[in-house]
Amino acid sequence: MEAKVLGRKVIRYRSELLLSADGSELETGDSVTDCTDGDFREVVLSAAHDEQKVSSSQRRDVLEKFFPLPDTGVWSEAIARLCRQASVRQGA
């Protein structure tokens, strides 16, 4: 995911001998190129020579989906709660 946010092409290697346990494939869709033992070299060289980068809108979509901004209200409440607990402990 980080590579996509940085605008890099992403290649997913699929071993022909192992089961795929990559949960990200449901989230990435067609934006990630798959390769196997048979076409590994060609896919990597093609991606290395391809000048086209991931569009800024695709990067923004990935960033917002997988790395959302924190909810400042939730964080503020959690910190306030911890501060209250600490002051109760010090006072007791």
**Tens digits of residue pLDDT in 38-89:** 998 898 888 877 756 667 777 777 778 777 788 899 999 999 999 999 888 8
> CA 23 to CA 35: how far, in whole Å?
17
Each residue of 14-47: pLDDT tens digit? 877 766 656 555 555 567 888 888 998 898 888 8
Give this prediction's pTM.
0.44
Q: How far apart are CA 3 and CA 58, in angstroms?
A: 12
How many Å separate Cα 75 from the centre of its chain? 22
Provide the number of structural domains found in the chain: 1
